[in-house]
Every structure is written in structure tokens, then in C-alpha cells.
Amino acid sequence: MDHILGRKIGMTQVFLENGSVVPVTVIQAGPCFVTAVRTPAKDGYEAVQVAFEQTNKRITKPKAGYLKKRNLSNLRFLREFRSSAEGAEVGQAITVEIFAKGDFVDVCGTTKGKGFQGGVKRHGFAGGPKTHGQSDRLRAPGSIGSGTTPGRVFKGTRMAGHMGHVRHTTLNLQVVGVDTENNVLLVKGAVPGADQGLVTVRKAIKKRLAK
């Protein structure tokens, strides 16, 4: 139960007690409700399935039935997280209380779509020279391979293409504030995705405690 679902609300800045200013992302997270508990004995792996966000919109009948069976109202998202299922019970609420100020968290989200982008923006290519008689080379990708041998362009060669709108995780963001009343998390720094986007906040897997 190290995960919680939420929505990215936007960014602002806050003052710490010592007066320094910290840029923060405001995330409205939870409450999520446990809908299923997976155990090694029964399912072969350990995970917690949770549902998030009350909705007035119609949800599919199978989903509505699935939630009704667990005495839950209409919730929009169903997600399963591989984490310790210890103490998890169906119907139990997961709130922002699982995090404390100073904790480190990882935030997953879907990045903003950038559309079809060239190599310079998409892969950080340097582009060509601006001067010395160059034309049409400013943002060109350069060479994409050798000549007769191998006589083809290797698969996976970095080129222009669709950028963004992929799942991305930002690691080790510090929790600056937890507001249990409003189910709000303040996380230091930027978080993937647009405002109002769905994000997953989990305890940092590579870093445990704040110093």
C-alpha cells in the first residue's frame, strides 16, 4: 500500500520555515479504495488493486457491478499496484496519510504530447552549423548510418517522430506538505503531465527516508 492515485492540480511555490522558497506541484490524491488484494498464495504475486475518484459520469456495467459488490460507489479509475499487500483489506481507504512531510516519492504520469518533433527537440541532437555556407542544415539529424555496408539504416536509429504522451516516472521528489483535510500533497519540483492529469504517487523505491 505504497501507492496512491491523484490528479495534478498545478504548480506554485511555498515558503519553508527557514524562509527559503520551494517550487511545488499540488497533487490532489486519494482517497483510493482497495478493490482487491493479490497474495502469493492465491495469485502467485503480491499486489493491491485500488479504485479512485468519484464520478457522476456513467461507467461501464461490469465495472459498476464490480464496485457494487465491494460496497463502493462509482469510481472512475481501477489500477493495480505491485506492492506489499500486508494489512490491506477490500474496501479500505488509502489516503495521503501514507506520506509524511520530508518523505521521498516517485510520481508517474503521462507526459504532455508534443506531436511530431524533429531530432533536435526529441533526442537532443545538436543540429548543423548555422554559418559557413550552410543551407537547410540547421536542425538536420546528420548521418543516420554507414554506406554500402551495411546498406541499410539500423532499426531503432533515433529520428524525428512522435514525442510525448508516454508514461514517465519522476524519481525522488520530496514531499513538502501533506494536507489530510483536503487530500492534498505538495511535492517539490515538477511532475509529468498536464494539469488535471492522472498521476500515481508512490514511496520512492530508490530512496527511503529524508535526512
Partner 1 sequence: MSNVLELVRTSQLKTGLPEINPGDTVRVHVRIVEGSKERVQVFEGTVIRTRKSGVDQSVTVRRLSGQIGVERTFLVNSPRIDKFDVVRRGDVRRAALYYLRKRTGKSARIKEKRTPQLASKA
83 binds partner 1 (CB under 8 A): no
Q: Is 170 exposed, middle or buried (0-12, 13-18, 19+ CB in 10 A)?
A: middle
10 binds partner 1 (CB under 8 A): yes
- Binds partner 1 (CB under 8 A): choice among 140, 160, 184, 198: 184
Instruction: Closer to partner 1 by CB, 17 or 89: give it.
Output: 17
Instruction: Closer to partner 1 by CB, 28 or 83: give it.
Output: 28
> Nine-digit cell at 73?
460507489
Helices (H) and strands (E) in the chain, counts: 3, 12
- Binds partner 1 (CB under 8 A): choice among 155, 182, 206, 211: 182
Q: Are strands 198-203 and 104-110 parallel, antiparallel or unpaired?
A: antiparallel
Going by C-alpha positions, the residue among 109, 91, 107 that lies closest to residue 99 is 107
Q: How far is CA 210 from the centre of its chain?
A: 21
15 binds partner 1 (CB under 8 A): yes
19 binds partner 1 (CB under 8 A): yes
Interface residues with partner 1 (CB under 8 A) are 7, 9-10, 12-15, 17-19, 21, 24, 26, 28, 182, 184, 186, 195-196
